[in-house]
Amino acid sequence: MSGSVRFVHAADLHLDAPFKGVDAEDPRVRAALIAATVGALDTLVEVCIERRADFLVLAGDVYNSMDAPLRTEFAFRDACARLDAAGIRVFVARGNHDPASSRSAGLALPANVHVFSADEVERVVYEREGRPICALYGRSFRTAAETANFAAGYARDPGDELAIGVLHTNVGDRPGHGPYAPCSIGDLRAAHMDYWALGHIHKPEVLSQDPPIVYSGCTQGLHPGETGDRGCTVVTLDRHGATLERVSTARVVWAAATVSAVGLDDIDAVRGALLAEVDRVVRDTGTAPGTPAVLRIDLTGRSGAHAALARPKALDDLLADIRGAGLSRDPWVWVDRVRDRTMPAIDLDLVRSGSDFAADLVSLADSLLADSDALGAYVGALAQPILGTLDSKDLFEPDARDIIERARDLALDRLMAEERR
Ligand SMILES: [Mn+2]
């Protein structure tokens, strides 16, 4: 074997995934979300063709469900046929969402597609003009819950000049992800591959540089939690090593932002800050300029606009206004949610100058904050019942100053809310 290969590594396309957690009433936004996963597949095909890839590696979860609709299977088959026409092969390892036992695994795929065995690690040789160039090792999931260590079955043939491992796996028992085909980075290194094309974790991540052990991440974020760039990894590999390049494929980017309302004293100032955030997202949607975004914003901080935001329907009207502005941008931004997490601004000097209960409260806090012995004793007495219930006292190290300041402000917030009723 001699030479080099260029391939595109992608995973977790979840082509038939429903978008959860967003209820977009705008028809253009709805249509974009519905078309996004298959659109990302189209972009993936274009990337393979533009970069003159030798082959595409898909490391599991092409489909979201074990009985994916026929139209989704047609979309995948059409994509493979376009690659076939361009002379690009496709290597597929099935994952926990689309195991070999899926009911939707029936549609015949073009001859350029190879689906790895679900019985054992399978070695397939990519050839160019009849000459072996690169070996690919892969194993598909048979069932949705494969909990054996598949990585242990991978071993490079000493005759391979180039070798790639393909696997859907949870490396390092990551919490929050299914414990499927678990393995360690050490298990993967022990197979002596030149590159590991992994799937399952949807956030792109390079676990190791030498050899590259890579989660390409999903091709399209599937819900508001999957924020930021989503795409594929273009790999150029020869016997000296690999060069990696990230290319975005997402048709809609999920974005989340926190906007501080500190120093903003009325609704118009808040509106200005929200619009500035929308425009920031328009300019900066990961590595793919021109990609529409769905944006969630939390408004935070002590703000003079707190009371105005708390008025009935004020936030709804503000959201509708910001949405209209976001949809007029190019690319558009759908503001899915603005949450009001602001608190009232407190002018402590003004409260101190009064003669009411609030003034007494601030005065008590002032005297404690001025006397560290008294402060420690006071907070210690308050914390004792809680500390008594903990097995390890080391877990809770009370910061007395912080506790008193927060207790003071929380009590003042409650008092002010009472006054407004
Ligand atoms: Mn997945």
Q: Give distance in angstroms: CA of 14 to centre of ligand 1.
A: 7
Q: Give distance in angstroms: CA of 399 to centre of ligand 1.
A: 42
> Given this model, what pLDDT does residue 287 score?
56
Query: pLDDT confidence of 1, banded at 50, 70, 90?
Result: very low
Question: What would the mean pLDDT of 204-215 be, rounded to a whole number?
Answer: 96
Q: What residues have CB less than 8 Å from 178, skipping those under 6 apart?
A: 96, 145, 170, 200
- Tell me the per-residue pLDDT of 70-114, one tens digit each, with 9 for 90 and over: 999 999 999 999 999 999 999 999 999 999 988 765 788 999 999
Q: Give distance in angstroms: CA of 169 to centre of ligand 1.
A: 10
Q: Is the pLDDT of residue 244 over 80?
A: yes
Question: What would the mean pLDDT of 398-405 be, rounded to a whole number?
Answer: 84
Q: Give distance in angstroms: CA of 200 to centre of ligand 1.
A: 5
Q: Give distance in angstroms: CA of 16 to centre of ligand 1.
A: 12
List the shell of residues around ion ligand 1, using CB closer than 5 Å: 12, 61
Q: Is the pLDDT of residue 236 over 70?
A: yes
- Tell me the per-residue pLDDT of 311-356, one tens digit each, with 9 for 90 and over: 889 999 999 999 999 999 999 999 999 999 998 888 888 899 999 9
Q: What residues have CB less than 8 Å from 285, skipping those under 6 apart?
A: 253, 255, 291, 292, 293, 331
- Average pLDDT over all residues of the chain: 91
The overall longest dimension of the chain from CA atoms, in Å, is 93
> Given this model, what pLDDT does residue 321 score?
97
Q: Give distance in angstroms: CA of 217 to centre of ligand 1.
A: 9
Q: Give distance in angstroms: CA of 178 to centre of ligand 1.
A: 9
340: β partners: 299
Q: Is the pLDDT of residue 406 over 50?
A: yes
Please report the DSSP string for 34-93 in residue order: HHHHHHHHHHHHHHHHHTT-SEEEEES-SSSSTT--HHHHHHHHHHHHHHHHTT-EEEEE
Q: Give distance in angstroms: CA of 348 to centre of ligand 1.
A: 51
Q: Is 416 exposed, middle or buried (0-12, 13-18, 19+ CB in 10 A)?
A: middle
Question: What would the mean pLDDT of 226-237 be, rounded to a whole number?
Answer: 95
- Tell me the per-residue pLDDT of 26-51, one tens digit each, with 9 for 90 and over: 999 999 999 999 999 999 999 999 99
Q: Give distance in angstroms: CA of 140 to centre of ligand 1.
A: 14
DSSP secondary structure letter of residue 395 = G
The number of residues in the chain equals 421
